[in-house]
Amino acid sequence: MNWTDRVTKWRRLPEREKLLRRWEAIPLDVAQSMAFEREPVELAVLRSLLAQIALPAISTRQKASSPTRS
């Protein structure tokens, strides 16, 4: 599978699934960033903190308004 196949697959996912995958990736992203700054933090601690926060609601994108007529 090449990168274009992966992008296509991602775009076909329901918005809720994309949100969940992004949400679940947060602890690892933070842990890697903190390790890079030489301030390591336990991944389990980050996951427990994230579990205490409510999952954000899915918002629908609104079309951008334009000063000119379409």
- DSSP secondary structure of 18-70: HHHHHHHHHHHHHHHHHHHTT----HHHHHHHHHTSPPPPPPPPPPPP-SS--
What is the predicted pLDDT for the residue at 55?
86
Sort 27 into a burial class: Cβ within 10 Å, 0-12 / 13-18 / 19+: buried
Residue 10, in any domain of the structure: no
Residue 35, in any domain of the structure: yes
Residue 69, in any domain of the structure: no
Give the domain extent around 46.
21-53
What is the predicted pLDDT for the residue at 56?
85
Reference 22, options 53, 61, 48, 55; nearest CA is: 55
Q: Per-residue confidence at 1, pLDDT binned at 50, 70, 90?
A: confident
- Stretch 38-51: mean pLDDT, rounded? 94
Q: How many domains does the chain fold into?
A: 1
